[in-house]
Structure 1
Amino acid sequence: MLITILIRLFLLSLTLSELFIRENQAPLIPAEQASYFIAPNGSDSNAGTIDSPWKTVQHAADLAEPGSTVYLRSGVYKQKLVITRSGSAAKGAITYSNYESEKAVLDGTGLTVEGLEGIITVNDASYIQVKGLEIRNYKSRSSDAAPVGILVQGAGGYIQLISNNIHSIQNTAAPTGKGLIGRDAHGIALYGTKAPKSLHHMTIADNELHNLVLGSSESLVLNGNVEQFILLNNRIYDNDNIGIDIIGFEGVAPSPAFDQARDGLIQGNTVYNISSNHNPSYGTKLPNDSNAAGGIYIDGGKNIVVERNLSYRNDIGIELASEHKGKATSGITVRSNIIHSNRLTGVAIGGYDKQRGSTTDSRIVNNTIYDNDTSGTGSGQLFIQYDTSNNLIQNNIIAAASGNMMIYNEYRKNTGNVVDYNLYFTPDAGTKAAWVWKNKTYSGLADYQSGTGQDAHSLFADPKFSNPESFDLHLQPGSPAIDRGYNDRELKHTYDFDEKPRVNGTTIDIGAFE
């Protein structure tokens, strides 16, 4: 019930267009119908009651009716589960859950992995809820296999993955003549493989995904024809590749017109210790210093709000890009996030080279971006890469703890971008602060402003964080960021990182906190 209330409260922060696409997103509460019980000492010839439980979750899944709940009693189950039976709007979801506070574990030790396969796989089903399970130890050494904690594929809707602990999913394939191509694994993966029918109204909330060995893949991924989703309050950490990835243009959906994850909300997630530097898929000599793994990565996605997330100690805090030439990541709003202590940069937009796609029509507003580029690469706090257009970068605190690079933009294919009303700071003297814009270096804010025409209303000043040493980035009274932001109409119904109304009166603060 709590998750329903939270999501409905969060919906109040959305614009009318965002509310329209999510009006049916709130989780469905299963109807009061049959309950089935599974226990390690059960038998599939039993009645499936609490006193006479079944042994296998698959047996329950093959019989479960809409509105029913399959409870796993305490214990370790070395079993896989394939869900093909759906719940319904009228009778409710089919729920797979631990029983009360008991610890139920699906353990993949010794189980084979056939192609892309989950310990739990949902195929072409709707009205499904999976919650409260520990899912672990699903591993492969084959480049032809991709183990997944929970895999949802095909088409379907109203699926909720809530409060699961997924860890130790691994692909440890050794290099072949093809290198490490195909060395893949995921914690949670949603693949919309059909068209025009999609995977839609997906809720992934309050899960933990950690200690994953992912190869060239991602901890939590939505790929292909996936739309109208919420990723809420998940914790993703200590993995060797991307934390959250929203992908388009990879040929997952059979029609290019639908091959793009879109229309979603990524809110309240905490992502940390995500790095490719010990991942041999990025270079077999370890550490490889690739710094390629984003905490949150929108790679070809469209029309997505990324707000109130905490992304730190990753290679890249948040990245908006497209890896496919001629294709754009577009319509992304990144607001009220805390992004600090990432190795390469805080926020990156655009393709990483001239063979990639573009980032267009996106907004990076009211974030606190602090103490990034910790590896000293010179990529700065904000990294603007190849082919960016019509993006707004506004009301952000962009500050370094050391180093002097604020924005690094070496490419000239950069049109229509507007950067303004930001607060910049580095402990070095202001004249040493540097901006690279269209491959030209500027020293000091005034030099950069006059040379580029950007940031006309921005300032260089100490933001006066409450305790930057412990990364408490609230503002002290008297901070120059207070009441200095630009109040545009799209911020009217939004909230700051602490869930306070962003607009209080006529003025707003710069940064993630109001």
Structure 2
Amino acid sequence: MKKFGKILLIGLSLGLGLAIGNVQTPAASAAGTEYYVATSGSDSNAGTSDAPWKTLQHAADTVPPGSKVYVRGGVYKEKLKITRSGSASQGPTVFASYGTETAIVDGTGLSVSGNEGLIELADVDYVTIQGFEIRNFTTASKNAVPTGIYVHGAGGFINLSDNKIHDIKNTATPTGKDRLGRDAHGIAVYGTKAPASIHNLTINGNELYNLVLGSSESLVLNGNVNGFAVTSNLIHDNDNIGIDLIGFEGTAPTTAYDQVRNGVVKGNRVYNNSVRNNPSYKSDDNSAGGIYVDGGKDNIIEQNYSYNNDIGVEIASEHAGKTTSNITVRSNVIYNNRLTGIAMGGYDDERGSTVNSKIVNNTLYKNDTLDDGSGQLLVQYDTRNNVIKNNIFVASSTDVLIYNGYTQNSGNVVDYNLYFAPGGSSGANWTWKDKEYTGFPTYKSGTGNDAHSLFADPKFVNATNGDFRLQSSSLAIDSGSTDNAIIGTEDIDGEPRVKGKAVNIGADE
């Protein structure tokens, strides 16, 4: 009887403890341990595979550095904010969908307060987010900014991989002459401190789509971000910019650190991103770049496909007196974009400049699908000491290859390119330093550009079906200048440069 009574008393105490929240959950054990979360779990469990926790937030607040948190398939209608780091010695703290299952973090019905991520990493190091579907984080409130994954502050060794992010939306009505107040992001990384940066950042293999962004971007790095790789992502069907590297917006507290720098954007496929149905822009605006560097420096854009956007790739600065500098754009395939293939320089004379950058070994094909004459390369306000070599430019029906409507253009080297246009050599059109030239010989003699360049059909294998490899009879083969920016790199297909007696012109070696 006494024994039975004691057991009953313990059971009663546990029941009361659970009811009033006084019983501590089992302590997480040594670093490197695996923990589990499942929709059928309980946060009073031990977090094992047989007794999983229920919420992502409980796991984030409990596990020691270096733990692996496996999240079983199902829908988790909660926000996750991670403020605890992994470590160099224990390894990263990993949050990942379990096996072949998909854990869905769903924001349906959740409010958005200020700049907020459905998954948020604040001032952390050594954290990995992998294999989640992140969706339905929306607001109709002006100046609230919903984001799929939001990283901010300072920190390093952060890995965001293999996530599917969609239906992150701000549907507020923009106001004022600049149509502001409507913003959202799929992935946003904001380096908001100085000198401490966000560094050793990897964003790989994610898919971002069906995002309603207003004035903002699908995937953005902004401020004090120093050292990153944005690779092999699929970004499509959004209503603004695909990938953006930003400087000079005041995101970092010190101007000297307020630039995204020393990174690579490689192997991404970016398409169908346009502002044409976005109420934050005028109906005739076509400013959504597939890949955009706005005020960044010392970055490489390579081996990407960018098509059916407003602009294929843009390297520019929106801030007067500020420069985008030392950007290398190489071995990309850029085609069928609405306004132009590559744009550089400030978009008007109240903006900044593009300097000391290289646009080399790209293939640009029939951009300017709007037929407004912006051509394959749009050279805008204040471009200085840039190199434009070894590119294939194939004009749209406008026959415009390069359009440069500003005279603030100095020290730029344009050579060893291959041009082609429907109107032939005599009908092709270039504008340089605000002067128009029709015909390839006239353009060369009038500008001094392209002394070693060619005008010929590049003979792609099947451009209509997106195959921009060169046929063996193409004059682009072995006809380029082996610039230092291309030696030892790879072409669009991962083939090594250089194979023949000289580098090929275009993205294919």
Distance 1:414 1:324 in 2: 18
Quote the offset at 1:484 in angstroms.
0.5
Q: Amino acid of the residue matched to residue 251 of structure 1?
A: G
Do the aligned partners of 1:487 and 1:506 also contact (CA within 8 Å) in 2? no
| 2-structure distance, mates of 1:180, 1:43 | 46
Q: Contact between 1:445 and 1:459, CA under 8 Å: does it hold in 2?
A: no
Larger radius of gyration: 2
Aligned-residue sequence identity (percent) comes to 60
Question: Is residue 173–residue 180 contact of structure 1 (8 Å, CA) maintained in 2?
Answer: no
1:455 equivalent in alignment to 2:450: yes
Most deviating of 100-109 and 482-491? 482-491
Task: Give CA deviations for 1:166-220 in whole Å, capped at 9, x if unaligned.
Answer: 0000000023457631210000000000000000010000000000000000000
C-alpha displacement of 1:312: 0.2
Q: What letter is aligned with 2:141?
A: S
- 2:371 is aligned to 376
Q: Which residue of 1 aligns with 2:390?
A: 395
Match of 2:4 in 1: none
Q: Say whether the 8 Å CA contact 2:375–2:396 is kept in structure 1.
A: no
Alpha-carbon distance between aligned partners in 1 of 2:439 and 2:491, rounded to the nearest angstrom: 29
Out of 168-177 and 363-372, give the one that drifted further: 168-177
Q: How many residues align?
A: 480
Distance 1:307 1:177, change over 3 A: closer
Answer yes or no: is the 8 Å Cα contact 2:272–2:307 preserved in 1.
Answer: yes
Counterparts of 1:472-483 in structure 2, within 5 Å, are: 472-483=467-478
Residue of structure 1 equivalent to 2:150: 151
Cross-structure match for 2:208: 209
For residues 179 and 56 of structure 1, the distance between their equivalents in structure 2, rounded to whole angstroms, comes to 41
Could you list the per-position Cα deviations for residues 298-335 of structure 1 after superposition, in whole angstroms to 9, with x for gaps in the alignment? Answer: 00000001000000000000000000000000000000
Q: Does 1:413 align with 2:408?
A: yes
* Aligned partners of 1:419 and 1:455 also within 8 Å: yes
Q: What SS is found at the alignment partner of 1:169?
A: strand
Aligned residue number for residue 15 of structure 2: none
Alpha-carbon shift at residue 271 of structure 1 (Å): 0.0
Matching of residues 327-476 of structure 1 within 5 Å: 327-476=322-471
Map of 1:485 onto structure 2: 480
User: Map of 1:134-149 to 2, 5 A cutoff?
Assistant: 134-149=133-148
1-structure distance, mates of 2:34, 2:284: 51
Offset of 1:488 from its aligned partner?
2.5
Q: Distance in 1 between matches of 2:101 and 2:179?
A: 40
Match of 1:109 in 2: 108
Q: How far, CA to CA, are the matches of 1:65 and 1:429 in structure 2?
A: 67
1:212-243 CA distance string (max 9 Å, x none): 00000000000000010000100000000000
CA contact (8 A) 1:206 1:232 kept: yes
SS in 2 for 1:446: helix
Structure 1 distance, partners of 2:235, 2:464, is: 23
Contact 2:369 2:396 in 1 (8 A): no
- Alignment check: 8 A CA contact 1:143 1:180 kept: no
* Corresponding position of 1:161: 160
Structure-1 residue corresponding to 2:496: 501
After TM superposition, list the pairs within 5 Å mapping 1:260-299 onto structure 2. Answer: 260-283=259-282, 288-299=283-294
> What one-letter code is carried by the residue in structure 1 that aligns with 2:146?
P
Q: How much is the aligned-residue C-alpha RMSD, in angstroms?
A: 1.1
Indicate how the Cα distance of structure 1 residues 178 and 400 shifts in structure 2: closer, same or farther if over 3 A, else same.
closer
Shift in Å, 1:160: 0.2
Provide the residue aligned with 1:222 in structure 2: 221
- Aligned match of 1:255: 254
Tell me how far apart the structure 2 counterparts of residues 254 and 449 of structure 1 sit (CA, whole Å): 47
* 8 Å CA contact 1:307, 1:334 repeated in 2: yes
Letter of the aligned partner of 2:285 in structure 1?
S
Per the TM alignment, residue 366 of structure 1 is displaced from its structure 2 partner at its CA by 0.3
Query: Which residue does 2:90 correspond to in 1?
Result: 91
For normalisation by structure 1, the TM-score amounts to 0.92
Deviation at 1:491, TM superposition (A): 2.0
3-state SS of the aligned residue for 2:326?
strand
Measured in 2, the distance between the counterparts of 1:211 and 1:177 equals 26
CA distance, structure 2, for counterparts of residue 175 and residue 382 of structure 1: 32
SS of 2:62's equivalent in the other structure is: coil
Structure 1 counterpart of 2:303:
308
5+ residue gaps, structure 1: 1-30
Q: CA deviation at 1:402?
A: 2.2
Report the Cα distance in structure 2 between the residues aligned to 1:177 and 1:207, rounded to whole angstroms: 35
Specify whether residues 496 and 131 from structure 1 end up closer, same or farther in structure 2 by C-alpha distance, changes over 3 A only.
Answer: same
Give SS of 2:280's match.
Answer: helix
CA distance in structure 1 between the aligned counterparts of 2:110 and 2:424, rounded to whole angstroms: 59
Quote the Cα distance in structure 2 between the aligned partners of 1:272 and 1:449: 34
Q: Give the alignment's TM-score, normalised by structure 2.
A: 0.93
Q: Report the CA distance between 1:57 and its aligned residue.
A: 0.4
**AA partner of residue 295 (structure 1):** G
The alpha-carbon distance between structure 1 residues 334 and 179, as it changes in their structure 2 partners (threshold 3 A), is closer
Alignment-mate amino acid for residue 253 of structure 1: A
Instruction: Indicate the SS of the match to 1:494.
Output: coil
Aligned partners of 1:247 and 1:298 also within 8 Å: yes
Instruction: Tell me the distance in 2 between the aligned counterparts of 1:416 and 1:481.
Output: 26
CA contact (8 A) 1:331 1:361 kept: yes
Question: Residue by residue, what CA displacement relative to the aligned partner does 1:43-67 show, whole Å, maximum 9, x if unpaired?
Answer: 1111111111111100000012111
1:477 Cα offset (Å): 1.1
1:356-393, Cα deviation, whole Å (9 max, x unpaired): 00000000000000010001110000000000000000
User: In the aligned structure 1, how far is the partner of 2:181 from the partner of 2:94?
Assistant: 33
Tell me, in whole angstroms, the C-alpha distance in 2 between the residues paired with 1:500 and 1:347: 23
Instruction: Report the equivalent of 1:22.
Output: none
Specify the SS of the correspondent of 2:78.
coil
CA shift, 1:405, in A, is 0.3
- The residue type equivalent to 2:316 in the other structure is A
Q: 2-side partners of 1:383 and 1:330: how far apart?
A: 17
Cα separation, 2, equivalents of 1:175 and 1:334:
34
2:230 matched residue in structure 1: 231
Residue 241 of structure 1 corresponds to 240
Deviation at 1:505, TM superposition (A): 4.5
Deviations 1:9-48 (A, max 9, x none): xxxxxxxxxxxxxxxxxxxxxx982111111121111111
